[in-house]
Amino acid sequence: MTKQFLVDQIKAKHSYLCVGLDTDIEKLPAHLPKNKEGVIAFNKAIIDATAPFCVSYKLNTAFYESQGLAGWEAMEATLAHIPSTHFTIADAKRGDIGNTSAQYAKTFFEVLPFDAITVAPYMGKDSIDPFLAYTNKFTIVLGLTSNAGSANFEQQKLANGQFLYESVLEQVSSWSSAEQLMFVVGATKAEDLASIRKIIPNHFLLVPGVGAQGGSLEEVTKYGKNNDIGLLVNASRAIIFASQQENFAEEAAHQAKQYADEMKSFLV
């Protein structure tokens, strides 16, 4: 999927919602079996119900990998069910020496044909290059995350006065264009988005932390939006586990619509 296609979908729907399919097998509604079939049935129902209100789906691969082969099969079946109009993200946070990263890229861009993957930049450019070799895919680099531990490294000041995360954004953005690169910026850091936009004005930002983690959608939009909207705001638990009853998909659609309606109000 190209950046322009994604922008067109966002503008057509007036929504920049990304639904996180972080499907914890232990939290499936009681009427569904806690196995591969249950996960697939749950995910398909969530996708069918929420697709009109979102433009993207993000699969946190840990929830699937932890189930072994059955989890990988559930992830594959879930990905295959997502409409081609929706941007798909493997939230895998990979990053290693070049030849290892090349195998990760093959896994999530070829074997499992996601549109994008999240990566960790700690090991530097040669760990990111294999992902960028796929010109029709997106590499989403961790920038400023919403967890408390981001203070340990990301928010440390360098000798030049920059925060480490600012140096990451500046350097990584020079390795490719906004047609291939996106960045993760946590919603609970919304006040930092204005300064981040000065460093990367044209790139899409994947913004987790809205919903169950308490981030403000209004503030994220106010400080993070650019001329192309440039935002994918992710909500996971608040949507997919809105109900533990048999009406879980209907409730997920209701929550997704609420997000989409709020987003539309910020774009008019």
Q: Is the pLDDT of residue 211 over 70?
A: no
Structural domain contains residue 129: yes
Structural domain contains residue 14: yes
Structural domain contains residue 64: yes
- Indicate if 198 belongs to the active site: no
| Range of 79-93, 136-150, 152-166 with top mean pLDDT | 79-93
CA-to-CA dists, residue 97 to 41, 94, 100, 246, angstroms: 37, 10, 6, 46
Which of 3, 93, 157, 225 is the catalytic position? 93
Structural domain contains residue 168: no
Residue 213 confidence (pLDDT)? 60
Mean pLDDT of 32-53: 98
φ and ψ at 106, to 5 degrees?
-65, -40
Residue 88, SS3 per DSSP: strand
Structural domain contains residue 84: yes
Per residue in 214-243, pLDDT (tens digit) is 678 998 999 999 999 999 999 999 999 999
Q: Is the pLDDT of residue 189 over 80?
A: no
State which residues form the domain around 130: 3-163+175-267
Per residue in 57-67, pLDDT (tens digit) is 999 999 999 99
Sign of CA dihedral 216, 184, 256, 5: positive
Domain count for the chain, please give it: 1
Structural domain contains residue 234: yes
Domain with residue 212: its CATH number is 3.20.20.70
Structural domain contains residue 169: no
CA-to-CA dists, residue 34 to 23, 48, 59, 241, angstroms: 11, 20, 18, 15
What value does the mean pLDDT of the chain take? 95
Q: Single out the residue of 234, 182, 209 nearest to residue 59, CA to CA.
A: 234
